[in-house]
Amino acid sequence: MSGSKARLEAIDAVKGFEPPAGFFPPLAEAPGDIFGQNVFTKAVMQQRLPKPVFKSVMATIEHSKPLDPTVADIVAAAMKDWAMEKGATHYAHVFYPLTGLTAEKHDSFLEPGGDGSAIAEFAGKTLTQGEPDASSFPSGGLRATFEARGYTGWDVTSPAYILENPNGNTLCIPTVFVSMTGEALDHKTPLLRSQQAMAAQAERVLRLFGHENPDAVVSFAGAEQEYFLIDRSFFLSRPDLLNAGRTLFGAKAPKGQEFDDHYFGAIPERVLAFMFDAERELFKLGIPAKTRHNEVAPGQFELAPMFERSNVATDHQQLLMVMMKRVAQKHGMECLFHEKPFEGINGSGKHVNFSLGNASEGNLLLPGDTPHDNAQFLVFCGAVIRAVHKFGGLLRASVASATNDHRLGANEAPPAIISIFLGDQLTDVFDQIAKGGATNSKERGTLMIGVDTLPVLPTDPGDRNRTSPFAFTGNRFEFRAPGSLQTIAGPMVTINTILAEALDHMATEIESLVSDGADFNVAVQKVLEEVITDHGSVVFNGDGYTDEWQTEAAARGLLNLRTTLDALPQLITEEAMELFSHYGVFSHREMHSRYDIALEQYALSIGVEARLTLEMANTVILPAALRYQTELATNISSLQSIGAEVDRSTLDEVSASIKDLRIGIAKLRAELAHEGSTAMEEAEHAGHNLLPAMTTVRTAADELETFVADDLWPLPTYQEMLFIL
C-alpha cells in the first residue's frame, strides 16, 4: 500500500468510526456510587481489619507514625480477600523507576498445594517487600548490569487498588524501589524522604507559634493535565508520533489557534464521550477528576483533579496517564502527552498546584482576609520566596528534559527564568514589611457589570499571572513549568526540600532572636524583613514573555537556563548536593546518578528522533517528492513536445527543495555517526548538532509538503490530525 493511499484510508477510518458493543456504561450508574470502588480505602480497611490494626495503619497514613511490622500479615490477608472478591487473580508491586514511566511485576495469588490443588496465598512479607530485577532500569552508576538485586517496599500511605481487565483483575500495591544498598532507584523514595524533611521543619515553625503538639504537616498537590487527542488511524500512520510522541515533520495548517476559538469552546461530542468514560474509570480508582475543558490549541484539552497529599497525587498522576491512554484507544483515539506534539501551536504542560498543611491548622498557605495580621501565613509564604530565589536553578532542573525544552520559555509556557508572582495584595504587604512593618491589606472589591439582572460579583484583591512559573493563586502556589509527560515527583521533591531549608533557616533565626531577648513578634518581623530584602528580587508581577523581562531578570541576578543542557549542572553544584544530603533526600552518589540519568535520557530522546527523521525523510518524504518531481517533469516534457508554452517555476521550486532535503539528510547522517566518550559529550552533541541538523531536514520537507500534490503526500497533515475528530 502506498503512503498516500494509507493516509486517505486513515481519513476514511476516522469518518467511519463506530463505538464497539458494550461501549457505554450502565445508565443507572451514579458517579458517587462508583467513586473509589476499586480502592482499598479507609472505609474498606475499617470494615475488614481488627480495630487495633486499623488504628495502627491509620496512625501511619494520617499522622506519619512508623509502620508497625506486626500488622502486615493481617493487612495482607484482608487485602487479598477483598481483591479476590473483586475478581483479582494476581497482585503487582507498582513502582516508578527513573524511566519516568510506571513499572509493575505481576504474581498470581495461587500457589500449588501438596494434593495437586491450588491455594490462594498472600503473606505479610509478600505485601511489604518484592524483588524485581534492578539490572535493566536506569541507575546512573548506582548498580552495575551484573548487580541485579533490587527491592520494592510497600508504601502504606498510598492506597492499593484494582486494575481491571476483561480477562481478569490485578491488585496493585504502590511501592518504593531501591537497590539492596538502600539507594533510591525510583521517584517515590525521594518524594517520601523530602516530605518527611519538610514536615519536620514546618512542625518546628508551628511550635514557635504556640502549637505545642502539631499534627503531621504534609504537602499537597493538584496537577492540571494538558493533552492532545487525535484519531488513532492518523496516529498509526505517523511513525514519528508512534515512536517519538511528536511530529518531526508537518507544515503549519492554514488555520491554527489564531482565533482563540478552541479555548473553553464547546467540547466535541466524540471527545466528551471519551472524557465521561475516562472520568468513570478514574472515579473507580479514587482519582478525583474535577475539571475538563478545551485548551488553547485545536485538538488540545485539559483535565484537573482535586488536591491530594502529594505522594498520592503523584501516584494518581501516573495512573491517570495510563488510564487516559487506555480509554482513548477504546474510543479510537490516541492521547498524546508529549509537551510539543505539533509545531506552531501551543504545547502541553502539567501545572502543579502546591500547598502544605495539616488536620488541625488546615492550609498553611491560606492568607485570610487580612494577611498583614497573619504572621504564621507570612512566615510560610516568606519561606517559599526564600526557597524559590535561592534554589531557582534546582526548580528549573526539576522540569528539564528534551521534550519540555520544546515549550518552556516560549509564549505558551512560563519562561525559563524562575520567578514568583505574589499579586497586588501580598506584594503590598511584603513591601510594607520591608519598610518596617505591615499595617493593612488591600481588601476585596466588587465588580459592577452594569446589567441590573446580574449579581454583584466579588473580586479578589489581586489578579492572576499566566506567564509566571511560580504564581500565588489565592491559597496555594502554582508551578507552571513542569511538562505534560513528566511525573510530578521530581518537582515535588525539589519543592519539599528547598522549603525544608527555608523553614529551617527562618525557625533558627526566630529562635536565636527570641533567645537573645527579642519579643516573638519583633523577631518574626525582623526575619520576614530579612527575607524580602535578601530574596525579594525573585518577585515579579509583570509579563514574563517580554524581552524587557529577560534584561531585568539578568540585572536582578536571576538565572535564565534556557535548555536542559543549561539546567542539569544545577543538580551537582556543591550547594545542591549539600542541601539534599543534609535533609536526607539524596546522597551525593544519588544526586550524581540522577544527573547522569538525565543526561542519558536527553541524548537518547534526541537520538531516537534524529534516526526517525533520517528514516522518514529517506523512505517516506523523499520518494513522494521525487514522484511529484517526475510527474511535473513528464508533463512539461509532453507539453514541450507539442510546442506548448511551459511554466517551469513549480518544478524548479520542488527540485530546489529536494536538493535542500538531500543536503539535510547527508548532514544528519554524518552527525548520527558521532560517538561521544562521556554522557555530557553525547548530550551536548545531541543538543548542539543533532537538533539543528534535524531542523534543516524538516524545513526542506515541510516546504515540499506545500508543493507536492495532495494525492501523493504520504503523511496525515496537521489540518487533518488537529481538526478531524
Cα 548 to its chain centre, rounded Å, is 29
Residues 262 and 141 both lie in one domain: no
pLDDT at 145: 65
pLDDT at residue 278 greater than cutoff 60: yes
Structural Rg of the chain based on CA atoms: 28
In a domain, 178, yes or no: yes
Of the listed ranges 260-269, 368-377, 405-414, the least confidently predicted one is 405-414
The reply to whether 510 and 539 lie within a common domain is yes
Strand, helix or coil for residue 57: helix
- What letter represents residue 84's amino acid? M
- 28 part of a folded domain: no
Tell whether the torsion through CA atoms of 254, 668, 138 and 192 is positive or negative. negative
> What is d(CA 3, CA 713) in angstroms, rounded to the nearest whole number?
7
> What confidence category does residue 414 fall into, taking pLDDT thresholds of 50, 70 and 90?
confident
Question: Per-residue pLDDT for 436 more than 70?
Answer: yes
Q: Which of 670, 668, 632 is nearest to 651 (CA)?
A: 632
User: What is the pLDDT at residue 206?
Assistant: 97
**Residue 309 CB neighbours (<10 A):** 18
**112 plus 245 within the same structural domain:** no
The residue written with cell numbers 487525535 in the block is: 230
- Please indicate, yes or no, whether residues 179 and 222 belong to a single structural domain of this protein: no
Q: What are phi and psi of 457, to 5 degrees?
A: -100, 130
Residues 156 and 225 placed together within one structural domain of the fold? no
With 80 as the cut, is the pLDDT of residue 463 above it?
Answer: no
* Domains of the chain: total: 2
Does residue 651 form part of some domain?
A: no
Write down which residue in 133, 161, 186 finishes a domain.
Answer: 186
Q: What is the DSSP letter of 268?
A: P
CATH no. for residue 65? Answer: 3.10.20.70
Least confident of 134-138, 251-255, 365-369, 378-382: 134-138
Q: What's the average model confidence in pLDDT over 431-441?
A: 85
Q: Which range (62-66, 519-523, 574-578) has the least confidence?
A: 62-66
> What span, in angstroms and rounded, lies between the C-alpha atoms of 446 and 6?
58
| pLDDT at residue 22 tops 60 | no
* β-sheet bridge partners, residue 162: 171
Is the per-residue pLDDT at 389 higher than 80?
A: yes
Shared domain check, 166 and 127: yes
Residues 167 and 212 occupy one common structural domain: no
Asked if 317 and 492 count as a contact pair (C-beta separation under 8 A), the reply is no
The verdict on residue 402 lying in a domain is yes
| Average of per-residue pLDDT values in the chain | 91
pLDDT on residue 16:
66
pLDDT of residue 133: 74
Percentage of the chain exceeding pLDDT 90: 74
| Helix, coil or strand: residue 457 | strand
Secondary structure letter of residue 569 according to DSSP = G
Say if CB 40 and CB 57 are below 8 A apart.
no
Q: Which helix (H) or strand (E) holds 631?
A: helix 622-641
Q: 493, 472, 466: which is closest to 384 by C-alpha?
A: 472
Q: What is the largest CA-CA distance in the chain?
A: 106
Whether the Cβ atoms of residue 45 and residue 159 lie closer than 8 Å to each other: no
Residue 350 CA to residue 407 CA, distance in Å, equals 12
Q: How far is CA 119 from CA 106, 110, 169, 454, in A?
A: 17, 5, 18, 67
- Considering 134, 155, 186, which residue would you say is the last residue of a domain? 186
Q: Which of 133-147, 288-302, 443-457, 582-596 has the lowest mean pLDDT?
A: 443-457
Distance CA 219, CA 488 (A): 13
Q: Is residue 605 part of a domain?
A: no
Check the CA dihedral 528-533-537-543 and report its sign. Answer: positive
HEC string for 421-472:
ECHHHHHHHHHHHHCCCCCCCCCCEEECCCCCCCCCEEECCCCCCCCCCEEE
Cell numbers that stand for 254 in this block: 492554514
Cα–Cα nearest to 400, from 240, 222, 597, 255 = 597
Which residues make Cβ contacts (< 8 Å) with residue 266, sequence separation at least 6? 294
Picking from 538, 530, 539, 540, the residue whose alpha carbon sits closest to that of residue 509 is 530
All three cell numbers of 306: 482535586
Residue 471 host element (H or E): strand 470-472
User: Which pLDDT score is estimated for 132?
Assistant: 80
Classified as helix, coil or strand, 438 is: coil
Report the C-alpha gap between 477 and 470 in whole angstroms.
6
Q: What percentage of the chain's residues is helix, strand, coil (to nearest 5)?
A: 50, 15, 35
Q: Kindly state whether residue 480 falls inside one of the protein's structural domains.
A: yes
User: Is residue 578 over pLDDT 60?
Assistant: yes
Residue with cell 520559555: 409
What's the pLDDT score for residue 1?
42
| 697 located within any domain | no
Tens digit of pLDDT for each residue in 639-690? 888 988 888 999 999 999 999 999 999 999 999 999 888 999 999 999 999 9
What is the pLDDT averaged over residues 600-629? 97
For residue 645, is it within any domain? no
Q: Which sign, positive or negative, has the C-alpha torsion 514, 517, 520, 526?
A: negative
pLDDT of residue 17: 67
End of a domain among 133, 164, 186?
186
* CATH code, domain carrying 487: 3.30.590.10
Strands (E), 574-698: none
387 shares its domain with 526: yes
Same domain, 156 and 296: no
Q: Are residues 163 and 240 in the same domain?
A: no
pTM above 0.75, yes or no: yes
pLDDT of residue 24: 61
Residue 239: strand, helix, or coil: helix
How does pLDDT run across 314-356, given as a tens digit for each residue?
A: 999 999 999 999 999 999 999 999 999 999 999 999 999 999 9
Lowest mean per-residue pLDDT among 3-12, 376-385, 474-483, 669-678: 3-12
Q: How confident is the model at residue 25, as a pLDDT?
A: 60
* Mean pLDDT, range 55-60, rounded to an integer: 94
Distance CA 394, CA 399 (A): 9
> Is there a single domain that holds both residue 234 and residue 368?
yes
> Do both 159 and 250 map to the same domain?
no
In terms of Cβ atoms closer than 10 Å to its own Cβ (0-12, 13-18, 19+), residue 318 is buried
Range of the domain at 361: 195-600
Condensed to tens digits (0 to 9), the pLDDT of residues 103-140 reads 998 989 987 766 666 567 888 999 999 888 777 887 88
Report how far apart the first and last C-alpha atoms of the chain are (Å, whole number): 24
Give the pLDDT score at 306. 92
**Which of 121-125, 144-148, 502-506 has the weakest average pLDDT?**
144-148
* Short-list 725, 694, 714, CA closest to 244: 694
